[in-house]
């Protein structure tokens, strides 16, 4: 076997630069999908996680069901569910716009972001719930004693402390969302994984391409860990042990 390790620096047959540019396109798609899905997941996950700590029976039950539903179905199945059923759920002009108005790349991106976002939101909800519930109960009492409403107690006391406390598990959810975003390649999104096929069709040297993509994922992962370590340091409160 002979390997061509300079493959990524050769120019593509389409005249759009070198194969490294294609790899870079894949990185951009993977990261932007992960970021979009993260925003959805963080907002929904926080809401559901907070509901899980409320005394309202209905909201609590609903949140528990939501978490069970999204945690017990494989991401691949959820991805295909949204891919197949989402266009059918839409109606009227929205449906025609989604099916024929958007380019396939964009509609695949939207579908993947929704699926990945909802899947991850259930995991974030669990982290947020744990973060709030492991705070000393005195913080809640202190907030109430100061005359804060329930809503204010969450906004100004419980959530700021809880989020600081769960930065490490949220970091690992961030690395997970990047890894999980690769499942979007199964519904036709050309992310880092999608580029494997594309480059392989043009060059037929799979081992080198897989090495390149593996290194790309390791670098992204390392970047996330570095950024989050910085965030954790910056948000740490004085006179608090273990950052929260």
Partner 1 sequence: MQLLNWIADIPSLVSDNYHLLLSGLWLTAKITFTAVVFGIVWGTVLALMRLSNNKILNIFAKFYVNLFRSIPLLLVLLWFYLALPQVIKHIFNLPPYADVRIVSAMIAFALFEAAYYSEIIRAGINAVAKGQYHAAYALGMTKSQAMRLIILPQAFRSMVPLLLTQGIILFQDTSLVYVMSLIDLFGASVTQIGTVQGGTVKYSMIIFAAISYFIICYTASRLVNYFKKGISR
Shortest spacing between CB 210 and partner 1, in angstroms:
6
CB of 143 to partner 1, least distance (A): 32
Residue with tokens 């997941």: 41
Residue number with CB closer to partner 1 (119 or 154): 119
Q: What is the CA radius of gyration of the chain?
A: 22
Least Å distance, CB 175 to partner 1, is 7
Which tokens hold the place of 181?
Answer: 């975003």
Nearer to partner 1, 20 or 225 (CB): 225
Residue with smaller CB distance to partner 1, 73 or 155: 73
Residue closer to partner 1 (CB basis): 114 or 183: 183
Give the CA distances from residue 12 to residues 9, 23, 24, 83, 203, in Å, rounded to whole numbers and listed in that order: 9, 12, 13, 31, 9
We find the least distance from the C-beta atom of residue 196 to partner 1, in angstroms, to be 6
CB atoms within 10 A of CB 82: 21
- Cβ distance 68 to 228 under 8 Å? no
CB of 95 to partner 1, least distance (A): 12
Give the nearer residue to partner 1 in terms of CB position, either 68 or 149.
68
Residues near partner 1 (CB under 8 A) are 68-69, 71-78, 80-81, 84-85, 88, 175, 178-180, 182-183, 185-186, 193, 196, 200, 206-207, 210, 213-214, 217-218, 221-222
Q: How many residues does the chain have?
A: 244
Query: Do 79 and 115 touch, CB atoms closer than 8 A?
Result: yes
Smaller CB distance to partner 1: residue 29 or 213?
213
Residues 6+ apart with CB under 8 A from 214: none
Name the burial class of residue 6, with classes exposed (0-12), middle (13-18) and buried (19+) by CB atoms within 10 angstroms of its CB: exposed
Residue 221 CB, nearest distance to partner 1 (Å)?
A: 4
Residue 154 has which token pair?
């969450």
Of the pair 71, 236, the CB lying nearest partner 1 is at: 71
| CB of 76 vs partner 1, minimal distance in Å | 4
């Amino acid at each position: 076997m002979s390997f061509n390790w300079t493959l990524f620096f050769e120019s593509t047959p389409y005249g759009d630069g070198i194969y490294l540019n294609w790899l870079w396109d894949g990185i951009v798609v993977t990261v932007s999908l992960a970021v979009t899905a993260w925003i959805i997941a963080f907002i929904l996950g926080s809401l559901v996680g907070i509901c899980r700590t409320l005394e309202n029976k209905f909201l609590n039950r609903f949140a528990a069901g939501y978490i069970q539903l999204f945690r017990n179905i494989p991401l691949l199945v959820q991805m295909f569910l949204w891919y197949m059923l989402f266009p059918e759920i839409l109606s009227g002009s929205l449906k025609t716009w989604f099916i024929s108005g958007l380019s396939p790349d964009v509609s695949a991106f939207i579908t993947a972001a929704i699926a990945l976002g909802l899947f991850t939101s259930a995991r974030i909800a669990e982290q947020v719930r744990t973060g709030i519930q492991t705070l000393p109960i005195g913080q809640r009492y202190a907030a109430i004693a100061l005359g804060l409403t329930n809503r204010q107690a969450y906004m100004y006391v419980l959530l700021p402390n809880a989020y600081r406390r769960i930065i490490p598990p949220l970091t690992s959810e961030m690395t997970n969302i990047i890894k999980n975003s690769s499942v979007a390649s199964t519904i036709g999104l050309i992310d880092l994984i999608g580029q494997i096929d594309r480059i392989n069709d043009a060059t037929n040297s799979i081992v080198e391409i897989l090495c390149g993509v593996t290194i790309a994922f390791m670098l992204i992962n390392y970047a996330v860990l570095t950024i989050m370590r910085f965030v954790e340091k910056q948000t740490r409160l004085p006179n608090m042990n273990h950052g929260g």
